[in-house]
Amino acid sequence: MIDADLVKEAVRQRKARSESFLGLEYLRFSDDFKEVPRGTALFQDTVVWGYPHIGRIFMLEEGLKEQFKGPFWAEEKVDGYNVRIFRIKDRIVALSRGGYLCPFTMDRLEDFIDLTFFEENPDLVLCVEVAGPENPYIEESPPFVKEDIRMFVFDIMRKNSKDFLPQREKLKMAERYSLPLVEVFGEFTHEDIPTLKKILLKLNEEGREGVVFKEERGKRAKYITSYANLSDIKVTAKNMLQLPAEYYTNRLLRLVLFMEEEGIERTRHLYEQLGKAFIDGLFDAIEQFKRERKVYRTFRCRFHKKENAVALLDLLQRTSKHIQVVERELRREGNMWVLTFDKVFLNMTGLLGHLLGGGLVFD
């Protein structure tokens, strides 16, 4: 458990807040506070720790040598959103990275995960990446999820503990319950770096995000392909003002260091892709604004229960910053409910309104 004085202090400083949603009440850490990570949730007698930050290496070879002394595992890092799934009061729930209960994930759980896992392991927490073109949060999706979403387990935690199950125990559990794991490339040592370089080059060519390296128990580090960095730029350029500008400079640096490490040539094609990523996104925004006086992107996702779609809209409307969430349609399609909604990017909309109207900027 977490020390009571620390919790009180976090509440006083508004780093922890009461949440009441989907019939559950809990305390949510909205920011990192001392040793407690953002997204940590306190239920009556249970703490579910927030998923920790994982450091990034920018150079594969030097990074692995510097960060890992013994053997380490390599697993795919899937480009989706991160949830922690567990049982509380006879319900199976999913918390987003920020510690919100996610009605979409909860609605779709049974399609991907054998829920007997939680009956037999009520003290365990599955850490899952939800990815695919029809998710309500992020605009990118991995190439191997062509429609809807899929779920990928990448860690198992224990309630009331910050620690993860050791890798071999996690693999056994996954096998026993046929959990949909992320791709595990295997256990490696420094000797295998040439093999890992080949794996990364292949992931890059296939448009996949990258790899997380993990000791059997303990240290972790991630490493991202240049494809993923380019894709991040391309997808977000339309809403460039929403993200901190460092988002872009950071990705540019990572992109170039990946190329350098993997010996990828600077070709005209690559230059062109990068330029296009920035320019086309911004043109899209301008053209959309001229047509409709707002800059937005449309999301679509499928639910079993209508009430979960309504709850998701409520959640997004309450928690989105600088984004207006507007429902377009919620209708039955086969045996599912399909929700379509827009995220209107208010910063970009406001700025383009000012600039295209001839406004002055002091910068």
Taking the mean position of all CA atoms in its chain, how far away is CA 152? 12
286 binds its own copies (CB under 8 A): yes
Report DSSP state, residue 67. H
Q: Residue from 47, 57, 78, 149 that binds its own copies (CB under 8 A)?
A: 57
Q: Residue from 249, 298, 319, 320 that binds its own copies (CB under 8 A)?
A: 249
Could you report how far apart the first and last alpha carbons of the chain are, in Å?
Answer: 48
Shortest approach of its own copies to residue 169 CB, angstroms?
Answer: 25
Angle between helices 246-262 and 226-236 (to 10 degrees): 150
Q: Residue from 11, 22, 193, 257 that binds its own copies (CB under 8 A)?
A: 257
| Strand intervals (E) in 132-266 | 150-158, 184-188, 210-214, 220-224
| C-alpha distance from residue 122 to each of 149, 155, 197 (Å) | 26, 16, 39
357 binds its own copies (CB under 8 A): yes
- In angstroms, rounded to a whole number, what is the distance separating the alpha carbons of residues 296 and 279? 17
240 binds its own copies (CB under 8 A): yes
Shortest approach of its own copies to residue 145 CB, angstroms?
Answer: 25
C-beta of 181 vs 241, nearer to its own copies: 241
Beta bridge partners of 337: 303, 332
Cα dihedral sign, 166-172-177-178 = positive
58 binds its own copies (CB under 8 A): yes
- In angstroms, rounded to a whole number, what is the distance separating the alpha carbons of residues 84 and 82? 7
- In angstroms, rounded to a whole number, what is the distance separating the alpha carbons of residues 228 and 233? 9
56 binds its own copies (CB under 8 A): yes
Q: Residue from 89, 120, 172, 271 that binds its own copies (CB under 8 A)?
A: 271
Shortest approach of its own copies to residue 325 CB, angstroms?
Answer: 24
358 binds its own copies (CB under 8 A): yes
H or E stretch covering 337 = strand 336-345
Shortest approach of its own copies to residue 291 CB, angstroms?
Answer: 13
Both structure tokens of 226: 């240049």
210 binds its own copies (CB under 8 A): no
245 binds its own copies (CB under 8 A): yes
Shortest approach of its own copies to residue 305 CB, angstroms?
Answer: 37
- Angle at alpha carbon of residue 157, lines to 154 and 159, rounded to 5°: 150
160: three-class secondary structure by DSSP: coil
Only one of the segments 82-90, 92-100, 264-272, 300-308 lies at the binding site for its own copies (rule: CB under 8 A); that segment is 264-272
260 binds its own copies (CB under 8 A): yes
205 binds its own copies (CB under 8 A): no
* Count of residues near its own copies by CB under 8 A: 56
Residue with tokens 């937005």: 296
Chain positions contacting its own copies, by CB under 8 A: 53, 55-59, 61-67, 221, 237, 240-241, 244-250, 252-253, 255-257, 259-260, 266, 268, 270-276, 278-280, 282-283, 286, 351, 355-363
